[in-house]
């Protein structure tokens, strides 16, 4: 472990000398993640992307990509693009990245089950904004908006997330 690792602890995520309160999946932390189980997968994951809503906040880092109206994430195990960023129109089940609520205004994408996704192993473990403190996610790790912006401005591709 290094100070540049994001480390999930019982009191939050430790990163760059600070600890940030967070929410995890409603299914807790598991070693055998499955699509739809609501769990956060145990392991060492890497940050592979940074997405943001340019109509809602400033670009947090030079490597961030803007989320547009047609940006989606496939969560359909039958889809050849399962657990990948896709664009509308898309004929398989998916999640909209450009949401009405602020949860995905800023998203750090991890390499969980990516890029060579195994159907059923679970899709899209993101670091994103929480609904409110203590409210569980579907498996992602969620933070207060200001903390997420702070983290995103200092993380880089390859930053490790230890769960």
Task: Say if 82 falls within a structural domain.
Answer: no
In a domain, 27, yes or no: yes
Q: Is 121 exposed, middle or buried (0-12, 13-18, 19+ CB in 10 A)?
A: middle
Residue 152 resides in a domain = yes
Q: For residue 83, is it within any domain? A: no
DSSP 150: H
> In the chain, how many domains are there?
1
For the whole model, what pTM was predicted? 0.96
CA 24 – CA 36 distance, rounded (Å): 14
ω into 61 cis (within 30 of 0): no
pLDDT digits (tens), the chain, 163 positions: 898 999 999 999 999 999 999 999 999 999 999 999 999 999 999 999 999 999 999 999 999 999 999 999 999 999 999 999 999 999 999 999 999 999 999 999 999 999 999 999 999 999 999 999 999 999 999 999 999 999 999 999 999 999 9
Reduced to 3 states (helix: H, G, I; strand: E, B; else coil), residue 22 is: strand
Q: Return the CATH number at 30.
A: 2.40.440.10
Residue 135 lies in a domain: yes
pLDDT at position 1, please? 87
Model pLDDT, residue 19: 98
Residue 86 lies in a domain: no
Query: Considering the domain boundaries, does residue 119 fall inside one?
Result: yes
- CA dist., res. 107 & res. 125, Å (int): 10
List all residues 6 or more positions away from 118 whose beta carbon is below 8 Å from its beta carbon. Answer: none
Residue 46 lies in a domain: yes
What domain range includes position 115? 6-68+102-162
């Amino acid at each position: 472990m290094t100070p540049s690792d994001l480390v999930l602890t019982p009191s939050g995520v430790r990163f760059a000398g600070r600890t940030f309160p967070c929410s995890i999946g409603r299914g807790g932390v598991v070693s055998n993640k499955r699509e739809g189980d609501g769990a956060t997968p145990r392991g060492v994951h890497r940050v592979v992307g940074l997405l943001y809503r340019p109509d809602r906040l400033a670009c947090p880092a030079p490597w961030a990509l803007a989320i547009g109206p047609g940006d989606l994430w496939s969560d359909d195990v039958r889809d050849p693009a399962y657990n990948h960023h896709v664009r509308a129109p898309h004929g398989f089940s998916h999640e909209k990245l450009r949401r009405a609520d602020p949860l995905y205004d800023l998203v750090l994408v991890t390499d969980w089950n990516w890029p060579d996704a195994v159907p059923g192993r679970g899709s899209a473990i993101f670091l994103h904004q929480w609904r409110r403190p203590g409210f569980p996610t579907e498996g992602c790790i969620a933070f207060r908006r200001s903390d997420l912006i702070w983290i995103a401005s200092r993380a880089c591709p390859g930053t490790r997330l230890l769960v």
